[in-house]
């Protein structure tokens, strides 16, 4: 068993992707209920979680939303569930759940495939500021 906070939803993300890092900073900003914690797919904890869930990150290179002892989601479904937790106007994003997942993931995959070319890539994972460190699991 992996030692994880049981009262939090865990977002696993590509820690070297500029777009992904910017997105995580936005999630932190809108996470007013303190629902989420984060770890990169490249981190030791990220690898433990993906191994535990049986996710091959060579084949699934995307955001993963994991609710310990409940379920996990990937790609567009994960992103939409994160936005739903923000509440308010963000709930409108749930209209995209009406589209078949295969269509939503085609759009997601186009962005994911081009994210380094369009937004750049870091040589190593983001190091959170001391204020943000509590939001990340190592």
Question: For residue range 90-127, what is the model confidence (pLDDT) as tens digits?
Answer: 999 999 999 999 999 999 999 888 888 888 877 666 66
CB 128 within 8 A of CB 135: yes
| 29-61 pLDDT, tens digit each | 999 999 999 999 999 999 999 999 999 988 877
pTM of the model: 0.88
Strand ranges inside the chain, DSSP E? 9-13, 36-40, 64-67, 71-74
Q: Is 101 left (phi over 0), alpha (psi -120 to 50) or beta?
A: alpha
């Amino acid at each position: 068993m992996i030692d994880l906070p049981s009262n939090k939803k865990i977002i696993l993300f590509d820690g070297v992707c500029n777009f992904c890092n910017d997105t995580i900073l936005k999630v932190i900003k809108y996470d007013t209920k303190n629902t989420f914690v984060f770890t990169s797919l490249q981190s030791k904890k990220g690898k433990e979680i993906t191994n535990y869930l049986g996710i091959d990150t060579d084949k699934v290179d995307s955001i993963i939303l994991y609710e310990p002892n409940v379920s996990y989601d990937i790609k567009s479904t994960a992103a939409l569930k994160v936005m739903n937790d923000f509440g308010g106007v963000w709930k409108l994003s749930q209209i995209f759940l009406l589209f078949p997942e295969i269509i939503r993931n085609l759009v997601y995959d186009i962005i994911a495939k081009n994210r380094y070319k369009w937004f750049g890539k870091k040589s190593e994972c983001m190091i959170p500021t001391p204020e943000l460190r509590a939001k990340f699991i190592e």
